[in-house]
Amino acid sequence: MVTSVSAFVSQFFLMTGEIVILCTCGSETEAGKIALHLLEQRLAACVNVAPLTRRYYRWQGAIESAVEHLLLIKSSAALFPAVQAAIRQVHSYEVPELLALPVLDGSTDYLNWLRANLRPVSEP
């Protein structure tokens, strides 16, 4: 279904190829560690950390609540598999939140800066 939704969206909206990835962390220390890890590998051009968000969720049959830090990771769709792998290497959660949202459009200057600060997709 994701493929068909992606095809539908790309027919009607300008797609830039860039994405914003949502990822939550249990502590500010972990959020900083993940942000730096992604920046050092040039998998993200920028990572914002929104402190102290409250999440309500279902886990193993029970409703849970937690205070977390939300990462807003600016990257590209082509690098998303590498971003996922890098986050899973250092994240403490068994199932970390990893949601990629397409960037439909943006300022030319910002998008050019973002692209210039990501590694080429062909690099390991």
Task: Band the pLDDT of 121: cuts 50, 70, 90.
Answer: confident
Read off the DSSP letter of residue 16: -
Q: Quick one: which of 35, 3, 40, 7 has its CA closest to 21?
A: 35
- Residues 107-116 have pLDDT tens digits of 999 999 999 9
Place of tokens 């199932």: 95
What value does the mean pLDDT take over residues 91-107?
A: 94
CA distances from 89 to 47, 54, 93, 117 (A): 17, 24, 10, 22
Report field, pTM of the whole predicted structure over 0.85:
yes
The average confidence (pLDDT) of the chain is 90
d(Cα 47, Cα 90) in Å, to the nearest integer? 16
- E-only strand ranges, the chain: 18-25, 46-59, 62-76, 99-102
Quick one: pLDDT band at residue 122, thresholds 50, 70, 90? confident
Given a cut of 70, whether residue 17 has pLDDT beyond it is yes
Q: What is the pLDDT of residue 1?
A: 46
Summarize the confidence of residues 88-109 as an average pLDDT.
95
Tens digits of per-residue pLDDT, 18-67?
Answer: 999 999 999 999 999 999 999 999 999 999 999 999 999 999 999 999 99
